[in-house]
Amino acid sequence: MWSRQRGRLKPLCCGVEELRCRRREREAALRKARREQQLVSKRLLRDEALEEAEEGCVAMIFGEAEIQQFLRLAQRGTEEKEREGALVSLRRGLQRPETQQTFIRLEGSIRTLVGLLTSNQALLQLEAARCLHELSHSEQSAVVEACLPATSYLLTYLSGHSSDFIELCLYTLGNLIVESEAVRRQLLPQGIVPALAACIQSPHLTVLEALGYALSQLLQAKEAPEKIIPSASTDSSVLGSTLPQHMLQLLQPGPKLNLGVAVEFAWCLHYIICSQVNNALLITQGALSTLGLLLLDLAGAVQRTEDAGLELLACPVFRCLSNLLTEAAAEAVGGQLQLRDERVVAALFILLQFLLQKQPSLLPEGLWLLNNLTANSPSFCTSLLSLDLIEPLLHLLSVSNVVSVLVLTVLCNVAEKGPAYCQRLWPGPLLSSLLDTLAFSDTEVVGQSLELLQLLFLYQPGAAQAFLQQSGLQALQRHEEVAQLQDRVHALQQTALHG
């Protein structure tokens, strides 16, 4: 259930160091793109068996005459193999940006390709679709936009029955979708949402994953909160369609759950939820309980599975749950009831431990969920205490400033519930950890530590005394001159000294 498909990552023939270096470069590029609100990615679907068969042949740069020749052969070759072969050559050529440029500039080339896509020769059709897919993956807008005449056909084919072909159409559409708003303005009236809603009932996992990809690309669009997600009277919007129910079904734990599929749909849900269009609707459809159960399942899986890429799913699940918990509707429809199960807290800590080893940069997202769970819930705060989770939580204080602030906030959530909570919180390493955080120079970390100290002084008899004994005043003195902190530092000094 939780294992990834084998061999999906393309092996790169280079050293570990080079790989790391490439990854860093790409991360930096993605970060920059995100800050400029240009974060866009495409997926390339290539058949490994075909790739291997063709290994050794470097993709060629073709000139006009050659492309013309291939197209002519593909259309009019005497034998089917010959026609197919011509398209295979063309497809390999189209892996090169230079050939792509030449191709789209050649008059009538796209019309011919679309003609082959809609021909009655099944294999030619498939090969033509692969050519289009190569074009859709291009980084050059002109190349991608040249594919637009094919979209109505690609959408029509989604209601067919050939799973390989549908998958290819979906990945191609997914690549086209992110190119520009103009592309999406064409795809929406052509019926992409109803087409996806029909296709999501496919029994094929590869089709479902491709569909999740295409849908997530659509939902990521800047205009999605206004133009794609809203539930209008028609089913041409995502929330107006049956897509949300089906998405939630595909995220339900059980033998049918598939990681690749779940990752895509969890991201889809995240894009819908953070757009805040109608989260109450999702909650009434059971989003909170489905995601809560998924979190439990995920925690069970990280204990059993080695390196399955589960962090890819954990991240959107955290986000969906966290944002949904801020909805008034979460309380109104008994959302808190659905989630009033301390196993959620247990699961979250198992996942935090997993992330600490695997992907510490995602820890803040998990702690954000812990904050939203504990902020208004005496029940979850009690679970944190009764399950002995304070020590593991304090352990995270050393990870980073962002993580420290979140950890301290969660501790404040517990402490502010009153004396009964502080009494359970107090024993153990809490005070020494707090004295450590007072040595930080980050104002936010220190500020949140001061808040927590104040709650402890107020609710836990003897806390101020212990603080004094462990040279707490000296630790406070360090921050007397910091503008944002000095008021609180003085107040605490007063409380500690005079009660």
Q: How many CB atoms are closer than 10 A to CB 239?
A: 21
CA distance 391 to 409: 15
Binding status of residue 176 toward another protein by CB under 8 A: no
Which amino acid, 193? V
- Report the nearest approach of another protein to the CB of residue 370 (Å): 11
Which member of 60, 140, 204, 252 binds another protein (CB under 8 A)? Answer: 204
Does 61 help bind another protein (rule: CB under 8 A)? Answer: no
Contact flags string 289-328 toward another protein, x per CB under 8 A: -------x--xx--x-----x-xx--xx--x--xx-xx--
Kindly state the smallest distance separating residue 486's Cβ from another protein, in Å: 9
Size of the site for another protein (CB under 8 A): 160
The whole-angstrom separation of Cα 49 and Cα 359 is: 32
The nearest distance, CB 183 to another protein, in angstroms, is 11
Total number of residues shown for the chain? 499
| Residue 248 beta carbon to another protein: minimum distance, rounded to whole angstroms | 19
Q: Which of 102, 278, 383, 404 binds another protein (CB under 8 A)?
A: 383
Q: Does 493 bind another protein (CB under 8 A)?
A: no
Interface characters, 435-474, with another protein (x: CB under 8 A): -------------x-xxx-xx--xx---------------
Q: What angle do CA 477, 479, 483 make, to 5 degrees?
A: 135
Question: Which of 1, 198, 308, 473 lies at the binding interface for another protein (CB under 8 A)?
Answer: 198
Compute the least distance from the CB of residue 111 to another protein, in Å: 4
Q: Does residue 428 touch another protein according to CB under 8 A?
A: no
Among 1, 54, 96, 164, binds another protein (CB under 8 A): 164
Using CB under 8 A, which of the segments 54-62, 87-95, 113-121, 427-435 binds another protein?
113-121
Specify whether the CB–CB gap between 321 and 369 falls below 8 A.
Answer: yes
Please answer whether residues 264 and 215 qualify as being in contact, where contact means their C-beta atoms are separated by less than 8 angstroms: yes
Determine, following the binding rule CB under 8 A, whether residue 82 of this chain makes contact with another protein: no
Token pair 């059971």 in the structure block, residue: 286
* DSSP letters spanning 86-136: HHHHHHHHTTSHHHHHHHHHSTTHHHHHHHHHTSS-HHHHHHHHHHHHHHH
Residue of the chain from 424, 473, 478, 482 that contacts another protein (CB under 8 A): 424
Rule CB under 8 A: choose which of 334, 349, 470, 493 binds another protein.
349
Q: Which of 267, 403, 446, 472 binds another protein (CB under 8 A)?
A: 267
| Residue 201 near another protein by CB under 8 A | no
Q: CB count, 10 Å around CB of 354?
A: 20
**Which stretches within 257-400 are classed as H helix?**
259-274, 279-284, 287-304, 311-325, 328-332, 335-338, 343-358, 363-374, 378-386, 390-395
Q: What CA–CA distance (Å, rounded) separates 349 from 363?
A: 11
Binding of residue 230 to another protein (CB under 8 A): no
Label residue 497 left, alpha or beta by phi (over 0 means left) and psi (-120 to 50 means alpha).
alpha
Contact between 231 and another protein per CB under 8 A:
no
- Check binding of 378 to another protein (CB under 8 A): yes
- The SS3 assignment for 415 reads helix
Collapse the DSSP code of 302 into the 3-class scheme (helix H, G, I; strand E, B; otherwise coil) and give the result: helix
Q: For another protein, which is the closer residue by CB, 233 or 469?
A: 233
**Are 266 and 317 contacting, i.e. CB atoms less than 8 angstroms apart?**
yes
